[in-house]
Amino acid sequence: MNSDTHDKIIATELGISPQQVSTTVELLDDGATVPFLARYRKEKTGGIDEVVITSIRDRVAQLRELDKRRTAIVSSLEEQGKLTDDLQAQIQGAATMTELEDLYLPYRPKRRTRAMIAKEKGLEPLAQSLWAQDAHMNVPEEAAKYINPDKGVESEEEALAGARDIMAEWVNEDQQARASMRALYMEQGLFKTTGMRGKDLQASKYRDYAEWEEPVSTAPSHRILAMRRGEQEEFLSLRILVPEQTALSVLQRLFLKGNGLASDQVTLAIQDCFTRLLSLSMETETRVVTKSQADHTAIDVFAQNVQQLLMASPLGQKTILAIDPGFRTGCKVVCLDRQGKFLHTDTIYPHQGAGSAMKAGETIIALCKKFQIEAIAIGNGTAGRETETFLRTLSLPTQVPLVMVNESGASVYSASAVAREEFPDQDVTVRGAVSIGRRLMDPLAELVKIDPKAIGVGQYQHDVDQAILKQRLQDVVINCVNRVGVDVNMASPQLLTAVSGVGPQLATNIVEYRQEHGPFSSRTALKKVPRLGAKAFEQAAGFLRIPESEHPLDASAVHPERYPVVTAMAKDLGCTVKELMKDSDRQSSIDLNRYITEEVGKPTLTDILTELTKPGRDPREQFEAVHFDEGVQSIEQVEAGMVLTGVVTNVTAFGAFVDIGVHQDGLIHISQLANRYISDPNTVVQVNQQVKVSVLEVDIPRKRISLSMKAVPTEKT
């Protein structure tokens, strides 16, 4: 297919024009990033957003891969001398990889099959005669003609068996037959699981699947992945089955032409084909298709959760005292300045008797005074609630909030190469405490240092296609970082890496240049960074902010290439750019139509005006701390009927997990999220959302808490 055909296919699928597709693909091929196109090239793309641009990027890659395979198949058929005009037309018209592979199947080099052996015995003409299904054909007499002991055909029955093998392969390789079977497996197929011998399923997490069956067409993604994991761990046997008689009827309608002995042989060939060939290949295909669908659903859920976590409300630049709690080993304490710089560390033992608690309290009060602490961050892991309770007994300044921070993934960071590079002289506990404190200040800036898979908000993330998962999560991180923007004089290499057009090497170069020459004084100064050329500057500049710059627009999302437009607006109003940015009356008097050119249209001008009203505005919500219920710190203290405050930690296809401050998340099943039918939990709750929940059931031995939000008022933050 040529690029015009690709453009039309994608345009039809996405409901946009072929011109939008072709322009977007051209810009992407030229090195433009998704965030840059979505933000700064609206006139060229027709204003499509990141989601559509990403879909175009992924779909064109898929179609190009299809074309590569198409070319390889045509080349193979030419080498075999099997390429006809009709076959080439079918190959060129194939719209999917499945369709393409079905066309190639009869010609694909394969291991020696029963049909091949039968053909070597000279039985193909007999198969062709039977396939014609002449009702008057004397089958035994015809078969007798092919008895040849030299070729291994000793009897009429052996001749017929070989002919049936050939016909079975014809049925198996028939495009329409495969398409019909494929549809049957997807529409009427059943997942069936049984427990493996010698495995105690009742004591495992797979006990619900000991004897389980479920329609392929309606099985949810999390159960498909659970069944497959149970099979992989050898607790379950998993099959996908269809009613055999229904399948045979479908095939017979395609290939049987009447009655008679020849048709009886075709019927036997069809039965053999389904049992020995088609059922196995269709089961395999259905497993692949349903796995792919389940993967995409799980990845969608994971990506949504990661995005919500990355876009969590930042406390902002405050002096922080951060605590990584512990019982036996004590609580690691660190103090950070407003830029997140590590200042001091200590260890306190508030949970080892009254004397230790008193000393710990004195240490905390002294540190708060010495470093003028403005907020205290407490990790929500082991001893988190107990440490929070201890801190509330101290005479701390009332304006200093105590905030529980989700520390999921902090241990991964603390043992990482990034953490060792940042704090080579500190142990993992200090690094973990620093990460907790910085997460409170700016979750996005800190979480980009961790592999998103380690953040702990996924659903079967280790079971899904890892390449697709990696790309999707990378897209999420890049999208979030560029939506928020990055202070180039504060950002870590990991944060800069996610900026449009930057990447790992340029991020390192930027940081090294900053360390050697001091903070960047302007966006223009970025051009002095080694290897940061015109293309990289074009892609990155609008997302890199310099709040201290003399040029007021350097702290905004206005791209440097559009500074002249703003300068013209200010000049026309008889003021400076800085004055214009502070004067809402002047801003409201601007007639955007006066500034429209071939390059700059209404969408860009509207964005510029919005940015002038709130330059560099952080799109994240305002921070609000979660306050768990006092007196409920362990699962043993949770009782059915309680109404508790919680925060959503993970959203899955089957519900949401909520931290209620007892070191064990409770589950709100999808049926308990609202007083109405819910198909997608994300329409009701999001990661980091504060909620009120009622306790339905507590299972202490299995550490399970069942929660409900029905008739409980929600608080969205």
pLDDT in tens, 510-534: 999 999 999 999 999 999 999 999 9
How far is the C-alpha of 568 from the C-alpha of 662, rounded, in Å?
A: 59
How far is the C-alpha of 579 from the C-alpha of 166, rounded, in Å?
A: 85
When pLDDT is averaged across residues 41-53 and rounded to a whole number, the result is: 96
- Looking at per-residue confidence, does 453 or 265 come out higher? 265
Domain 115-303 grouped into CATH 1.10.3260.10: no
Residue 713 to residues 632, 662, 687, 717, Cα–Cα distance (Å): 20, 21, 17, 13
Domain 506-613 falls in which CATH fold?
A: DNA polymerase; domain 1 (1.10.150)
| Token duo for residue 530 | 């080694």
Whether the per-residue pLDDT at 631 is higher than 90: the answer is no
When pLDDT is averaged across residues 580-600 and rounded to a whole number, the result is: 94
Residue 584 confidence (pLDDT):
93
- Quickly state the pLDDT bin for 203 (edges 50, 70, 90): low
Residue 460 confidence (pLDDT):
75
CB 402 within 8 A of CB 627: no
Residue 229 confidence (pLDDT):
93
Rg of the chain over all Cα atoms, to the nearest angstrom: 33
- Looking at per-residue confidence, does 87 or 208 come out higher? 87
Chain mean pLDDT for the chain: 93
Question: What class is the 320-441 domain?
Answer: alpha beta
- Quickly state the pLDDT bin for 459 (edges 50, 70, 90): low
When pLDDT is averaged across residues 337-359 and rounded to a whole number, the result is: 96
Whether the per-residue pLDDT at 109 is higher than 60: the answer is yes
Q: Which of 637, 587, 636 is nearest to 611 (CA)?
A: 587
CATH architecture of 635-708: Beta Barrel (2.40)
CATH architecture of 3-107: Orthogonal Bundle (1.10)
- Quickly state the pLDDT bin for 199 (edges 50, 70, 90): confident
How far is the C-alpha of 717 from the C-alpha of 714, rounded, in Å?
A: 10
Q: Specify the pTM.
A: 0.87
Residue 315 confidence (pLDDT):
94
Whether the per-residue pLDDT at 194 is higher than 50: the answer is yes
Phi, psi of 4 (to 5 degrees): -65, -40
User: For the ranges 254-268, 592-606, 622-636, 686-700, which has the lowest average pLDDT?
Assistant: 622-636
How far is the C-alpha of 286 from the C-alpha of 238, rounded, in Å?
A: 12
Whether the per-residue pLDDT at 565 is higher than 60: the answer is yes
Residue 290 confidence (pLDDT):
97
Whether the per-residue pLDDT at 652 is higher than 50: the answer is yes
- Quickly state the pLDDT bin for 50 (edges 50, 70, 90): very high
When pLDDT is averaged across residues 233-251 and rounded to a whole number, the result is: 96
Whether the per-residue pLDDT at 713 is higher than 60: the answer is no
Query: CB under 8 Å to 701, separation ≥6 — which residues?
Result: none
How is 32-62 classified by DSSP, letter by letter? --HHHHHHH-HHHHTS--HHHHHHHHHHHHH
- Quickly state the pLDDT bin for 346 (edges 50, 70, 90): very high
Whether the per-residue pLDDT at 411 is higher than 90: the answer is no
Residue 712 confidence (pLDDT):
60
When pLDDT is averaged across residues 203-228 and rounded to a whole number, the result is: 90
Alpha helix stretches (DSSP H) within 256-323:
261-273, 279-310
Residue 197 confidence (pLDDT):
86
CB neighbour burial string for 334-359, b if at least 16 within 10 angstroms, e if fewer: bbbeeebebeebbbbbbbeeeeebee
What percentage of the chain reaches a pLDDT higher than 90?
85
When pLDDT is averaged across residues 605-617 and rounded to a whole number, the result is: 93
Residue/partner pairs of 533-537 with CB below 8 Å, 24 or more apart: 535/31, 535/501, 536/501, 536/502, 536/506, 537/501
How far is the C-alpha of 63 from the C-alpha of 66, rounded, in Å?
A: 5
Whether the per-residue pLDDT at 440 is higher than 50: the answer is yes
What percentage of the chain reaches a pLDDT higher than 70?
98
> What ranges do the domains of the chain cover?
3-107, 115-303, 320-441, 506-613, 635-708
- Quickly state the pLDDT bin for 717 (edges 50, 70, 90): very low
| Angle in degrees, CA 694, 699, 705, rounded to 5 | 35
What are 350-390's pLDDT values in tens digits?
999 999 999 999 999 999 999 999 999 999 888 999 999 99
Same CATH topology for 320-441 and 506-613: the answer is no
